[in-house]
């Protein structure tokens, strides 16, 4: 949902929130010209709430129940605003792993084998340190590796390094797939 969604119903209020609201209204009626310190006011409300009997609190509990019914009724008809969080397409292609991730998948087994019993956090620290010590030209092969080729040649288990192929090939394959899908759609329209 969008953060600035003005049509979204206000959240449900607790019994204590109704109590504080009532106290604020009482104060405004009795002393409208006297400013109130929030910290002081909150402390007094809290102390007063703690000393109230169940019977006195029941009035505010009832207000909470009514508010919940009203809120549930408003939420039933509410749909998220446009531009809100979209549902993820389950058929969308996965984002390719970063160069750092590919680097880690290649060197993690090596670190684990040379340091038996090392914690996951320590492995991550060592991998991060190794990555940061590489210069740009040493990082480049990991950044340009082809994920599609990597997945087709090897199962990803973190134990083997990825294959070296340019990303351009993946983009070309994606374009070919899109063209085929369009052609199939046009053929179906012609058949109908």
Rounded Cα distance between 154 and 164, Å, is 12
Domains 15-77 and 94-157 are alike in CATH topology:
yes
Rounded Cα distance between 160 and 101, Å, is 12
Q: Of 98, 124, 101, whose CA–CA distance to 111 is shortest?
A: 124
How confident is the prediction for the chain on average, in pLDDT?
75
37-71 burial, b at 16+ Cβ within 10 Å, e below that, comes to eeeeeeeebeeebeeeeeeeeeebeebbeebeeeb
| pLDDT of 183 | 63
| pLDDT of 159 | 41
Give the pLDDT band (50/70/90) at residue 27. Answer: confident
- Taking CA atoms, 54 is separated from 24, 35, 46, 79, in Å, by 21, 31, 15, 38
- Taking CA atoms, 30 is separated from 43, 69, 123, in Å, by 19, 32, 65
pLDDT tens per residue across span 97-153: 788 888 888 899 999 999 888 899 999 999 999 999 988 888 888 777 655 455 555
Model confidence, pTM: 0.38
Over range 68-92, report the average pLDDT: 73
137-173 burial, b at 16+ Cβ within 10 Å, e below that, comes to eeeeebeebbbbbbeeeeeeeeeebbeebeeeebeee
Token representation of residue 75 = 């939420």
Write down the domain spans for the chain: 15-77, 94-157
Better-scored residue on pLDDT, 110 or 174: 110
Token representation of residue 26 = 């009482």
| pLDDT of 145 | 63
Q: Is residue 29 over pLDDT 70?
A: yes
Mean pLDDT lowest among 77-86, 93-102, 151-160: 151-160
CATH no., domain 15-77? 1.10.30.10
Give the pLDDT band (50/70/90) at residue 5. Answer: low
Does 2.60.40.10 match the CATH number of domain 94-157? no
Percent of the chain scored above 90 by pLDDT? 9
């Amino acid at each position: 949902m969008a953060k600035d969604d003005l049509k979204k119903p206000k959240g449900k209020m607790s019994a204590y929130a109704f109590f504080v609201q009532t106290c604020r209204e009482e104060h405004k009626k009795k002393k409208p010209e006297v400013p109130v310190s929030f910290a002081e006011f909150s402390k007094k409300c809290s102390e007063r709430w703690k000393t109230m009997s169940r019977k006195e609190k029941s009035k505010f509990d009832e207000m909470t129940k009514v508010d919940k019914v009203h809120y549930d009724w408003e939420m039933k008809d509410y749909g998220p605003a446009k531009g809100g969080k979209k549902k993820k397409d389950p058929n969308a292609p996965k984002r390719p792993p970063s160069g750092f991730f590919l680097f880690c998948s290649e060197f993690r087994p090596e670190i684990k084998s040379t340091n038996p019993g090392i914690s996951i956090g320590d492995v991550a620290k060592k991998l991060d340190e190794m990555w940061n010590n590489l210069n740009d030209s040493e990082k480049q092969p990991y950044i340009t590796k082809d994920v599609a080729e990597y997945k087709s040649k090897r199962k990803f288990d973190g134990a083997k390094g990825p294959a070296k192929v340019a990303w351009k090939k993946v983009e070309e394959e994606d374009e070919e797939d899109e063209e085929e899908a369009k052609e199939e759609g046009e053929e179906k329209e012609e058949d109908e």
